[in-house]
Structure 1
Amino acid sequence: MSLLKPQRIEDFIITLLAQGSLKNTELLAEIQHLRPHTTKQAVYAALRQMKAREEIVIYRGTTALNLTWLNQLGSFVDQVKQAYTGSGTVKDTLTSLAPGDRITYRFQDPIKTDIFWTHVLYLLIDQDQTSEPVYLYNPHEWFLFVRNQNETEFIRNITMRGKQFLLLAGNNQPLDRYAKKYFDGNMSQYYPLDKPRFKNNNYYLNVVGHILIEVWLDKKVANAIDDFYRDTAVWGVEAEGKLLTILQQKRRVRITISHNQKKAEAYKKFCRKFFYFPKIIKK
C-alpha cells in the first residue's frame, strides 16, 4: 500500500476495506467518488489481481480483506518497527546527539525525504517528554497537499500528546493561505508570512526542544515549487498533478539533524509573536 496519499486503485480498495467488507457495487461507487474517471473495468481488474495475491477474499459479490494476509502484514510491521526503533538505529543516533553534534542524510527526491523526515520527527517527539510546542518553517506547506492523509494524521498525533504544532509558511500566495484550513487554530496553528523568514527558498526548518531538523531541497525543485504557487490559485486534481510532477523529480535533498540550543531558541523567539499559547503550554 502506498505511503503517499492513495493514488493506485489498490490503495483505495485497502483503505476502504479497512473499515469493513463491502459489496462490490458499493466498493466501485466509493472508488469512483474518491478517484473520478476510474472505470469499472479497472476496478475489477485490480480486485482480480489482489485476489490472486491473496490480499482480499470475494464471496457472493462482497469483498473483504484477507485476515491471513493482514496477520502476515502485522508481523512484517512489527519487524520493521523493531528494526527502526531498536538499538543501533536512527533512534540511537538521535538519542546520543550531544550539544554541537550534527548528522546529515541525503536523498534523491522530496517525497521520499518527507517520509524519512516525518519518521525522525516522530522519534524526536517520542524522546521529548515536555509539553513544549513543535516549531516548523516551510517556504510553502505542500506536504498537506500531496500527502494529506499522512500529514493530517501526523499533526493529530502530535496534538493528542498535548503538544502544539506551530507552522510558519514563508510565503502568502493563495495556496499558502488555503493550507490554513487543515489547522484548528489552537493546538495546531499556521501562519503564512508576507516575507520569507530565510533568504533561501529551498530551506526548511523544524525545532523540537534543542534539536533542529534542517532540510535543503534541490534549488531547481524549490524554484519550480515557487513558480507553481505563484501561478496556481485553486487546488484541485490538475494542480495536484502538476505539484506531484515537480516533487517526484530525482533531485538531491539534504537533511541535517543537530543539537543547537542557541539557534533553536532564536527561532522559537521569532515564532512566538505569530501564535497563540495557552497558559499551560506557554514557555
Structure 2
Amino acid sequence: MTALTPPSLHMSPREAAHVCAALPDLRAQVWQPLAGGRVNRVWRVGALVIKLHHPAAASPLFPNDAGAEYTALRLLEGTGLAPSPVAGGDNWLAYRFVEGQPWRQGAASIGRLLAQLHGQPTTALPFRRPPTGNTAILADAMTWAVRQTLPPLPQVPASAPVRLSFLHGDPVAGNIIGNDDKALLIDWQCPALGDPVDDIALFLSPGMQLLYRGSRLSADEIAAFRATYGMADVLARYDLLAPLLHWRIAAHCALRASQGHDGYAEALDHECRAVHAAQT
C-alpha cells in the first residue's frame, strides 16, 4: 500500500516490451504519469490506465497482487463499482480511464458503494480469506505488530460466524473516484473474501483518512455513511469489533512509521485515539 518514497515513474525497456506486446497501439502514444500512488507506478495512455505493480511493497495488512486486481476488475465489469479491465500480464494491468477526482466529500455515497460491493455474488471467488472474528484477527496481527508503540490490546467479546462478502481490501479515500452523487473504487490489488467490517473499518479509520484525504471524518459524515450502508447486522458487528479493528490499523501505521514512511506517525496517533474512543 505504501512506500518510503513515491515510486519512480521510470519504465524499463523490459517492462515496456511486456505491456506493448499485448497493447501495441500504446507505442505511439504519450504516457502521462498519474499522481497519488504510494507504491505502484501508474500512467494514463489515451483512454487507458497502465499500472505496474511492485509486489515487494506489500504489507501484512495490504497485499499487492496484480493478478488478483485484474480478476476483481473482470468479475465486477458492468457493475459500476470498478473500472473496466482491458488487459493484464506479469505484474501489470490496463483498464479504462475513469474521469474524476479522488474522494473528498459525500460519505453517504461511500456507504452505498460499499453496500453494493458487499452484496455482490461470492460463489467461487478466487481471493484470499483474511482472518475473521476477534480471536483470528488478534492472532494474525500479533505475528507482525510492533507493540511497543501501540495501546494495550483491547478486549472485545467473541463475534458470531459471518457470511463472507466480496471486499475491496483498501477502500481509503485515495482509492475512490467521485464525491457526493456517484463513486467508484480503484486500486483493487488486495481484494478478499471476508467480513465486511474490514472494509468499513478502513474507510472510517481516522489514520487512513488523514493520510489520504488530509482530515478525519466528522461525526456527521460517519452518520451519513452508516445510514446509507444500511446493513444493521454488519454495523453492529463493526461496533463490537471496532477496538480491535482499529488496533490492527494502528499496528499497520506503527509498522510503517518504524520503517520511516512519511505521515504514519501522525496517523498512528489518530488511530490510537480511535481505539480508545471505541472502548468508551
Greater helix proportion: 1
TMscore range, shorter length? under 0.3
TM-score, normalising length: structure 2: 0.25
Q: Which has the larger radius of gyration?
A: 1
Greater strand proportion: 1
